[in-house]
Amino acid sequence: MADPDAGRDARTRRAAGRGSLAVMLLPALMAVVGLFGGGLFLGILQGLGHLPGAGLSRLSATHFSRVWSDPDFLTSFGLTLYIAAVSTLVAAVISVVAALALSRLVNRYRAVHFVFQVPLTVPHLVIAVAVLFMISPAGLLARVAAAAGLIQAPADFPLLVNDRWSIGIILTYVWKEIPFITLMLLAVLQNAGRELLDVGRTLKADAWQRFRHIVLPTIFPALGAASLIVFAYTFGAFEVPYLLGRTYPMTLPVWAYKHYSDIDLLARPEGIATGILIAGMVAAAVVTAQALTRAARKKGIVL
């Protein structure tokens, strides 16, 4: 009786350590796996045609292939990709400029820094409403144009919301995401940038060389991560394109929800299948971007 107990003592302590780690991690993991993983899993099952009571034997890829072969799917995908890519790119470029300018300014003007944080906390929906009021055909900008004698009636004003180029949607995203990216860049710049720039200056590097070889490598990981988050968000978001987009073509999330909430219950699995496809595309984009960065680093391309 005494022998196994004595031998177990050390082992139990190690096991207890592992056990307590499990206890700490389990609630969070169970919630994420159960709710998030469960949601995706059940979404895939329903997308594969699983109906309650019908059993799993009838799974088929019909809904996925119907979504896939719908000519509107490709149009919607193109529109979604266009909005996400342009919004991310524009926001990223402006953010780099803003971060560089602000890194010189911030210490003197804390208020500017504070104001810059405001867009972070504001819901996208509110900004979409404000953008609508500002650039719609009878909006603020059109009134300014009328006052300047450029247009006579709202109909003369170029269509900037519910428009072909999704200007309103992109504007909303850019306004919301610039502070997000900029503040991520500022955090990096203020920690690491200063001294290296001084070294660069002592070594007589010109402004462009300092940017290319010091600033860009310093901020790139943060810029990449922030841009990826923005891209993933704008690709899968519903509210802004729903409010400011055209009725045709729709972005993929709007398309998915339209099918999902269709009175025709047969359209529902197609909506779910589209949602799963969106999830898959976003995940694939993030994985690819990370793999590309890693591969570039291995080849010695310093970015």
Site for another protein in 143-172 (CB under 8 A): 143-144, 146-147, 153-154
> How many amino acids of this chain bind another protein (CB under 8 A)?
88
Torsion of CA 141, 145, 148, 154, to 10 degrees: -120
CA-nearest of 209, 215, 212, 177 to 195 is 215
Could you say which of 7, 19, 78, 123 contacts another protein (CB under 8 A)? Answer: 123
Judged by CB under 8 A, the stretch of 1-9, 22-30, 65-73, 291-299 that binds another protein is 22-30
Binder among 81, 90, 159, 282 for another protein (CB under 8 A): 282
> Should residue 300 be labelled a site residue for another protein when binding is judged by CB under 8 A?
no
- Mark residues 45-74: x for contact with another protein by CB under 8 A, - for none: -x-----x----------------------
Residues 89-108 that bind another protein (CB under 8 A): 101-102, 104-105
Tokens at 276, concatenated: 């799963």
Helices 216-236 + 268-298 axis angle, to 10 = 170
Residue 175 binds to another protein (criterion: CB under 8 A): yes
- Identify the residue among 61, 85, 93, 112 touching another protein (CB under 8 A): 112
> Residues near 174 by Cβ (< 8 Å), separated by ≥ 6?
87, 90, 91, 94
Q: In whole angstroms, how close is the CB of 35 to another protein at the nearest point?
A: 5
Interacting residues of 169 by C-beta distance below 8 A, sequence separation 6+: 83, 87, 128, 240, 241, 244, 245
Find the shortest distance in angstroms from Cβ 228 to another protein: 8
Q: Which of 144, 295 has the CB closer to another protein?
A: 144
Contacts of 250 (CB under 8 A, 6+ apart): 76, 79, 241, 258
Residues 6+ apart with CB under 8 A from 65: none
The CA distance from 142 to 286, in Å, is 39
| Between 23 and 303, CB nearer to another protein | 23
Cβ closer to another protein: 118 or 301? 118
CA 26, 31, 32, 34 torsion-angle sign: positive
What's the CA gap between 227 and 178, in Å, rounded? 10
Provide the 8-state DSSP code for 161: S
CA atoms within 13 A on the CB side of 102: 26
The angle at the Cα of 100, spanning 94 to 101, to the nearest 5 degrees, equals: 90
Query: Which residues, 205 to 244, sit near another protein by CB under 8 A?
Result: 228-229, 232-233, 235-239, 243
By CB neighbour count within 10 A (0-12 exposed, 13-18 middle, 19+ buried), where does 239 fall? Answer: middle
- Compare residues 6 and 286 and give the one whose CB is closer to another protein: 286
The one among 83, 91, 127, 219 contacting another protein by CB under 8 A: 127
Query: Which residue from 15, 93, 138, 303 is in contact with another protein, where contact means CB under 8 A?
Result: 138
Among 16, 61, 74, 126, interactor with another protein by CB under 8 A: 126
Does position 302 bind another protein by CB under 8 A?
A: no
Q: What length does the chain have?
A: 303
Name residues contacting another protein, limited to 248-277 (CB under 8 A): 253, 256-257, 260, 271-272, 275-276
